[in-house]
Chain A
Amino acid sequence: MLALKLAYRNLMGAKLRTWLNMIVLSMAFLVIIWNKGLLNGWDQQARRDTIDWEIGGGVYWQENYDPYDPYTIEDSHGRMSDVTLKAVEDGKLTPILIAQASIYPEGRVQSVSMRGIDPAQALLDLPANKLTGDNSSVPAMIGQRAARNFKLNVGDYVTVRWRDVNGTFDAKEMQIVHIFKTNVSTIDARVVWVPLADLQEMMQMPTETTLLVTSQEAGFQGSIPGWIFKDHYFLLTEIREMIEMKSVSGQVMFLILMSLAMLAIFDTQVLSIFRRQKEIGTHIALGMTQRQVVALFTIEGAMHAVLAAILAALYGFPLLYLQAKSGWSMPEGTDDFGMTIADIVYPSYSLGLVVGTTLIVLITTTIVSYLPARRISKMNPTDAIRGKIQ
Chain B
Amino acid sequence: MNNSALITITDLVKRFPMGKREFTALSNINLTFNGGEFAGIIGPSGSGKTTLLNIIGSLDVPTEGKAVVLDNSVGNLNTRQSADLRNQYLGFIFQTYNLLAVYTVFENVELPLLLLKMAASERRKLVNQSLEWVGLTDKVNSRPAQLSGGECQRVSIARAMVKEPKIVLADEPTANLDAKNSHHILQTMEKLNADLGTTFIFATHDEKVIQYLKRKISLEDGQVVADEVKG
Contact = CB atoms under 8 A, between A and B. Distances in A.
Query: Do A and B come together as binding partners?
Result: yes
Interface of A: 2, 5-6, 9-10, 12-14, 278-279, 281-282, 284-292, 381-382, 385
Given A278-B96, A382-B59, A286 B86 contact: yes
A288 B86 CA distance: 8
A2 B117 contact: yes
B102 A10 contact: yes
B73 interface: no
A276 to B, nearest CB: 9
A278 B117 CA distance: 23
B84 A282 contact: no
Interface stretch (B107-115, B190-198, B209-217, B219-227): B107-115
Contacts of A12: 102
A10 B57 CA distance: 26
Count class of interface residues, chain B? 20 to 34
Interface in B92-114: 92, 94, 96, 98, 100-103, 107, 111-112, 114
A296 B79 CA distance: 16
A284 B112 CA distance: 11
Interface of B: 50, 54, 57, 59-60, 79-80, 83-84, 86-88, 92, 94, 96, 98, 100-103, 107, 111-112, 114-117, 159
Nearest to A281: B98
Contacts of B101: 13
Given A278-B96, A289-B83, A385-B94, 14 more contacts: A2-B114, A6-B114, A9-B103, A10-B102, A13-B101, A279-B98, A282-B100, A284-B83, A286-B87, A287-B86, A289-B80, A291-B79, A381-B59, A382-B50
B111 A385 contact: no
Contacts of A5: 114
Nearest to A282: B98
Nearest to A377: B79
A385 B83 contact: no
Given A2-B117, A278-B96, A291-B79, A286 B102 contact: no
B60 A278 contact: no
A289 B80 CA distance: 6
Contacts of B98: 278-279, 281-282, 285, 385
Given A286-B92, A289-B80, A13 B103 contact: yes
13 contacts: A2-B117, A5-B114, A13-B101, A13-B102, A14-B102, A284-B86, A286-B86, A287-B84, A288-B83, A289-B83, A291-B79, A292-B83, A381-B60
A5 to B, nearest CB: 7
A287 B83 contact: yes
A209 B209 CA distance: 107
A282 B107 CA distance: 14
Nearest to B51: A382
A287 B80 contact: no
Contacts of A285: 57, 59, 86, 92, 94, 98
Contacts of A279: 98, 100
Contacts of B115: 2, 286-288
A142 B173 CA distance: 91
B206 to A, nearest CB: 18
Contacts of B102: 9-10, 12-14
Contacts of A289: 79-80, 83
Q: Which of A12, A279, A286 has most B Cβ within 10 Å? A: A286
A121 to B, nearest CB: 72
Contacts of A13: 101-103
A12 B112 CA distance: 20
A36 B176 CA distance: 58
A10 B111 CA distance: 13
A5 B96 CA distance: 25
A387 to B, nearest CB: 8
Q: Which of B86, B96, B98, B101 has most A Cβ within 10 Å?
A: B98
Contacts of B107: 9
B77 to A, nearest CB: 11
Contacts of B79: 289-291
A286 B57 contact: no
User: A282, A288, A291, A382: which has the most chain B beta carbons within 10 Å?
Assistant: A282
A228 to B, nearest CB: 70
